[in-house]
Amino acid sequence: MEAYVQKTPLEKLKPPVTHVGVIGWVRTNLFDGWFNSLLTLLTLYFLWEVVPPLVRWAFIDSVWNTTGAVCRDADGACWSIITTNLRFILFGFYPYDQQWRPLIAILILCGLLFYSRDRNHWNKYFGYGWIIGLVVMGFLMRGGLFGLPGVETTQWGGLPLTLLLSIFGLTAAYPLGVILALGRQSRMRAIKVLCVVYIELIRGVPLISLLFMGSIIFPLFLPEGITINQILRAQVAIILFTAAYIAEVVRGGLQAMARGQYEAAEAIGLNYFLTMRLIILPQALKIVIPPTVSILISAFKDTSLVVIIALWDLLKTTQSTLSNPEWMGFSREAYIFVAILYFLGCFSMANYSRRLEKELSTEDH
């Protein structure tokens, strides 16, 4: 009996097609058992019902550049409300022939923000760049020098106003919030009580009531003839409000620090400020990035509340367009447009925070 010896290697069999490739992926991920199969089918049916009509409405049957009367006869979306009123929605009462100025200001701002995404770019010169950029933006918006006609803040509106309120609001609220959190942890009784009272008072009232106080009650206490800029009042209210929330989030981070960290800092002879700056805050602030960002995102959206004190932010200019009889009833299109703008803002904030978390992570992967 001769032993059977396989001389040539067997042909390698591929795994059955039902287990690899597209089909395999579909099987393991979508039709894995009867329950998941059912869910998949339901989802597919749902998409089939929703997506084609949506595409038809938003793109195929839509009209883009017509009058309101034509829109009324169209089957699809009436994007004409956006294209016709775009400049008012974006820039509000800013003088029509000067609207290139806020446009450039916004572009500068977006450019600076985008460039700041990479932390390798953060150095002294880029800091100067920011300062110059802000001065240029302020000059462009306000005018009054070098032959640019002046534009009063009462005429600012739309997107620049929304960005102004949120970006300055958030940048000012963050350090204030950190200081309040530190104050609340302080061993000095007076400071601690002050901070606790402030935080609890502000958190105890809705933002709307702060805005109302700022715009309606506050001026009644001012001496006659003195008025404070309406935008500034709203800005301060937003800063005070957001700072109180940030303070509580940061406090959470501070409490998460192990006692040993403080003791180690003391052991190497660091004073309070150095302890905080070098040891505690870098770690604590990193821990609280996710909740901080969600506060910043909601503060960004909350700026639309300035509508109630008649500042014409992005949402208000859009609503105003909707009360023109020619465009009445096209609120869907208008609100979708505004929602997209807000989404862009919120999504880039969330995106950046995820990136920051990853970069700052000290854990081994």
Partner 1 sequence: MKRFKLLVAVFLAVVLTAGIALAGTLEEVRARGHLIAGVNGGVFGFSMPDDKGVWKGLDVDTARAMAAAVFGDPNKVKFSALTAVQRLPALQAKEIDVLCRNTTQTLTRETINGLNFAHVNYYDGQGFLISKKLGIKSAKELEGATVCVLPGTTTEMNAADFFRANNLKWKPVVIEQTAELNKAFFAGRCDVLTSDMSQLAAQRSVSPNPAEYVLLPEIISKEPLAPVVRHGDDQWFDIVNFTVMAMINAEELGITSKNVDDMLKSKNPEIQRFLGVSPGMGKALGLDDKWAYNIIKMVGNYGEIYERNVGPNTQLGLDRGLNALWTEGGIMYAAPFR
Q: Whole-number minimum distance, CB 223 to partner 1, in Å?
A: 4
Map residues 87-116 to x or -, x wherever contact with partner 1 holds by CB under 8 A: xx--xxxxxx--------------------
Cα 6 to the chain's mean position, in Å? 67
* Beta strand extents in the chain (DSSP E only): none
Angle, alpha carbons 96-131-304 (nearest 5°): 50
Contact 315, 304 (CB under 8 A): yes
Residue from 17, 23, 135, 328 touching partner 1 (CB under 8 A): that is 328
Residue from 6, 325, 358, 365 touching partner 1 (CB under 8 A): that is 325
Q: Could you count the other beta carbons within 10 Å of the beta carbon of residue 76?
A: 17
Q: Which is nearer to partner 1, 73 or 359 (CB)?
A: 73
Is residue 75 near partner 1 by the rule CB under 8 A? no
Q: Stretches 46-54, 180-188, 211-219, 252-260: which one binds partner 1 (CB under 8 A)? A: 211-219
Residues 25-44 that bind partner 1 (CB under 8 A): none
How far apart CA 235 and CA 308 sit, in angstroms, is 14
The footprint of partner 1 on this chain (CB under 8 A) covers a number of residues equal to: 41
Residue from 2, 12, 33, 224 touching partner 1 (CB under 8 A): that is 224
Contact 64, 83 (CB under 8 A): yes
Q: Is 341 exposed, middle or buried (0-12, 13-18, 19+ CB in 10 A)?
A: middle
How far apart CA 40 and CA 272 sit, in angstroms, is 58
Strand partners, 158: 313
Q: Which is nearer to partner 1, 139 or 218 (CB)?
A: 218
How far apart CA 306 and CA 356 sit, in angstroms, is 30
Is residue 242 near partner 1 by the rule CB under 8 A? no
Residues 143-162 that bind partner 1 (CB under 8 A): 152, 154, 157
Q: Whole-number minimum distance, CB 324 to partner 1, in Å?
A: 5
Contact 161, 90 (CB under 8 A): no
Helix ranges (H only) for 187-330 are 189-203, 207-212, 218-221, 230-256, 259-267, 272-274, 281-287, 289-302, 314-322
Q: Stretches 6-14, 49-57, 124-132, 317-325: which one binds partner 1 (CB under 8 A)? A: 317-325
Residue from 6, 120, 123, 323 touching partner 1 (CB under 8 A): that is 323
Q: Token pair for residue 134? A: 């802000």
Q: Is the dihedral of CA 305, 306, 309, 314 positive or negative?
A: negative
Is residue 219 near partner 1 by the rule CB under 8 A? yes
Q: Which is nearer to partner 1, 309 or 349 (CB)?
A: 309
Is residue 70 near partner 1 by the rule CB under 8 A? no
Q: Which is nearer to partner 1, 226 or 258 (CB)?
A: 226
Map residues 331-350 to x or -, x wherever contact with partner 1 holds by CB under 8 A: x-------------------
Q: Which is nearer to partner 1, 89 or 137 (CB)?
A: 89
Residues that bind partner 1 (CB under 8 A): 72, 84-85, 87-88, 91-96, 152, 154, 157, 212, 215-217, 219-220, 222-227, 308-310, 312, 319-326, 328-329, 331
